Amino acid sequence: MSGVNNTKNRYAEVVIPLRFKESLTYLIPDEYIHCIQQGSIVKIKIGNATHQAIVRRILSSPDFDTKKIKKIEQVLNLPPIPAIHIKFLEQVSKYYMCPIGDTFRFAAFSSVKTSKREDKLLLSKNTDSDLMDQEVQVTQYPKPNEGSQESPNLNPTAPSFPLPTLSYEQQKGLEEILEQFKNGKPVLLNGITGSGKTEIYIHLAARAISQGKNVLYLIPEIAISRQIESRLKKVFGEYLKTYHSKKTVAYKREVYKTIATNSAPTIILGARSALFLPFEELGLIVVDEEHDSSYKQTDSAPRYNGRDTALILSSLLMSNIILGSATPSLESLYNVSTGKFAQVNLSTKYYGDSDCKITVVDMNQERKKWAVKGSISKILIKAIQKRLEAGEQILIFRSRRAYATAIQCPECGHIPKCPRCNIPLHLHKTGNYLSCHICGFSSRSDWNKCNNCQSAQMKTYGPGTERIEEELQNLFPDARIARFDADSTSSKKEEERILKQFAAKEIDIIVGTQMISKGFDFEGLTLAAVIKGEALASIFDFRADEKALQLLTQIKGRVGRRGNSAEMIIQTSRPEHPIFKMIQYDYCTSNSILGQEREDFSYPPYTRLIRITIKSPFKNKTEKIAAEVYSRIKASGATLVIGPTAPPIEVIDKEYHLQILIKLKRDKRSIEIKDKLFELLKEFPSKNCITDVDPINA
């Protein structure tokens, strides 16, 4: 078998999927000579602790004294990780400047934890046969429904699927995409909301599966997967597998084995972590809502972007890749302009176009006229009442959950703050607690009584979704109202219940955060409203305007998707802000304005960014490390370096933070600087020095 060890190659370089910065070398015992290969999952000992590890490569001899070398303890009865997948992990590690162990940790490792029954040795030479015994039973392909389009019969044994019927524009777009795939180019599908991008993805996926290839369908949020899964299940049946953090370990282990053994062509619907399944035969990658910042891993290394990592995977496996969005990122539009991507447009809605009336309400003026009740203007109240009387549905968007973003004592001025981050605590009236949305600290107490002077009647500021829901209940007591945010959908069951009821028109008004703005298709939704629109543009971030414009466009796209009259109302105290004018224009026209600003100030996509965050419980230590890091950065050859500076929130979870921003030109010299910088920063502990390549904010 290709890659299997022989008696001359008795050493294995292994990677522990932990924060190890380098590989380790172990001796392969005689009994494992014929069953260990590149990609095998083994057990090793470091000191007295036993760890699982991945064999990165087989060696004929190590670079050190073999007398000190330890033996591999055990080989797990799991499919080996493909060589091409190991190469993929190495490239991700290099690009995102993180230790190899951190990247290998994402190789679906937690998903393949073995049971006692499975945890047996592979002592047979016939490793292929052992792996084949683990194949998932292949189910029968579903038959096409009467009157539907069928997937192309590319070979006599190819499956057929009940495909959705395409409009003329969709069919034309599909043909353009297939032509660009022949040229080997990634395709950006720029389709307005409601134009039917999903139907095209389904047709492309059916072609790939009919060719015996796997399909990876990426979505940015787990919440979106419920509705997409339902649509895909009707077409692909048992060929569809869903993969994300909410799935059980046992289920994910079976998905892992299905992909690792290539037991049947499969379509994987997953969040960004699905990229690290051990694909070999991958015919298509779909990156839906490619602009979404949720594709970025921010809390641990590797801090990768799912969209960009999908492009790396596609290049290695030579698979087709399509990136779709109604609001494409400036990075993707830039890649189109340079010829790296091809662009295909969908400019009309699948169910017919409908004008969306956009009204920007100046809340300063409305308050002066006493035309506001709580957080809601009389203009919006009248619009909601009109839709309710017509039996239509309403979406109310607020970018902050909780009841209030801060509370203050009117007597002494005291504001309860997070003891770890020194920022105002959010009030959650349901549950009666205060919490920090940065570090997660929470405190249950009598929030309506000042802890400083003991006076009552604390004043609330910054209404969140919880308060807006309460206000709407008071204004429209007969309306059926639900809230959709991280607090109200903490369980999968509750999340599914709310979405199902809203889709069935059993809920009249839904109040939500960004979770409700992405990818959903609700037939009866005709009015969308944004509360405190200025909060979208008040973020200290060079991407703030782009993100705000994308979000407003996505919210706008939720309404009138069946040709019904659509309306969007934006309440703001800053009606003069450019984004509230841009939302009236064509999205790409507005984005070209933002693109010019980015180019003028040397920000992505015209440069590449690396953000180095230095943190420590001690301010002087943080400053000392930052000074040393800065000198290393200058030694790497980087010339445009900003900082060290304090971020908007300087203390997070009792640690002081400083940041250094590096801007690099998009050329080969930048690659050399990155490689050198990675080596220069290796000695700093990851707990004190965090590297983020292509950060989503800076």
CB neighbour burial string for 348-359, b if at least 16 within 10 angstroms, e if fewer: bbbbeebebebe
Residue 117 clears pLDDT 50, i.e. is over it: no
At 289 the pLDDT is 94
Residue 2 clears pLDDT 50, i.e. is over it: no
Mean pLDDT of 499-507: 93
Residue 384 clears pLDDT 90, i.e. is over it: yes
Give the pLDDT confidence of 102-111 residue by residue, as tens digits. 898 877 555 4
How far the first Cα of the chain sits from its last, in Å, is: 49
DSSP helix/strand/coil, 393: strand
At 8 the pLDDT is 60
Mean pLDDT of 236-240: 95
Give the pLDDT confidence of 548-573 residue by residue, as tens digits. 999 999 999 888 766 678 899 999 99
Report CA Rg, the chain: 27
At 274 the pLDDT is 95
DSSP helix/strand/coil, 304: coil
Q: Say which DSSP state 694 is in.
A: S
Binned at pLDDT 50, 70 and 90, residue 151 comes out as: low
Mean pLDDT of 266-292: 95
Residue 114 clears pLDDT 60, i.e. is over it: no
Mean pLDDT of 273-301: 94
**Domains of the chain and any CATH numbers:** 11-132 (3.40.1440.60), 149-346 (3.40.50.300), 356-401+464-597 (3.40.50.300), 608-693 (3.30.70.600)
Calpha distance 67→18 (Å, rounded):
26
At 221 the pLDDT is 86
What average pLDDT does the chain have?
88
User: Phi then psi for 205, rounded to 5 degrees?
Assistant: -65, -40
Binned at pLDDT 50, 70 and 90, residue 689 comes out as: very high
Q: Which of 269, 281, 238, 254 is nearest to 138 (CA)?
A: 238
Q: Which of 463, 266, 286 is nearest to 372 (CA)?
A: 463
Q: Say which DSSP state 678 is in.
A: H
Mean pLDDT of 189-194: 90
Binned at pLDDT 50, 70 and 90, residue 3 comes out as: very low
At 12 the pLDDT is 93
The verdict on pTM exceeding 0.75 is yes
Give the pLDDT confidence of 632-665 residue by residue, as tens digits. 999 999 999 999 999 999 999 999 999 999 999 9
Task: Please enumerate in sequence order all residues whose Cβ is within 8 A of that of 394, keeping only pairs 6 or more positions apart, or say none.
Answer: 384, 387, 388, 508, 509, 510, 525, 526, 527, 528, 529
Give the pLDDT confidence of 395-421 residue by residue, as tens digits. 999 999 999 999 999 999 999 999 999
3-state secondary structure 119-149: CCCCCCCCHHHHHHCCCCCCCCCCCCCCCCE
At 152 the pLDDT is 57
At 1 the pLDDT is 40
Residue 150 clears pLDDT 70, i.e. is over it: no
| Alpha-carbon separation of residue 201 from 141, 164, 289 (angstroms) | 19, 11, 12
Task: Please enumerate in sequence order all residues whose Cβ is within 8 A of that of 321, keeping only pairs 6 or more positions apart, or say none.
Answer: 186, 187, 284, 285, 286, 287, 310, 311, 314
Mean pLDDT of 516-534: 88
Calpha distance 355→343 (Å, rounded):
25
Both tokens of residue 125?
A: 């030479």
Mean pLDDT of 488-504: 87
Residue entry with tokens 């490619």? 290
pLDDT above 90: percentage of residues in the chain: 66
**Using an 8 Å Cβ cutoff, are 241 and 139 in contact?**
no
Of 385-394, 517-526, 574-583, 666-675, give the lowest mean pLDDT range.
517-526
DSSP helix/strand/coil, 628: helix
Give how far the C-alpha of residue 633 lies from the chain's centroid of Cα atoms, to the nearest Å: 29
Burial of 404 (0-12, 13-18, 19+ CB in 10 A): buried
Binned at pLDDT 50, 70 and 90, residue 129 comes out as: very low
Give the pLDDT confidence of 333-371 residue by residue, as tens digits. 999 999 999 999 998 877 665 678 999 999 999 999 999
Mean pLDDT of 181-197: 93
At 356 the pLDDT is 87
At 563 the pLDDT is 62
Calpha distance 626→632 (Å, rounded):
10
Both tokens of residue 438?
A: 């940065």
One-character DSSP codes across 308-353: HHHHHHHHHHT-EEEEEESS--HHHHHHHHTTSSEEEEE-S-TT--
Binned at pLDDT 50, 70 and 90, residue 119 comes out as: very low
Mean pLDDT of 445-463: 88
Burial of 193 (0-12, 13-18, 19+ CB in 10 A): buried
One-character DSSP codes across 445-497: S-TTB-TTT--B-PEEEEE-HHHHHHHHHHH-TTS-EEEESTTTTSSHHHHHH
Residue type, 453: C
Burial of 128 (0-12, 13-18, 19+ CB in 10 A): exposed
Query: What does DSSP say about strands 187-191 and 320-325: parallel, antiparallel, or unpaired?
Result: parallel
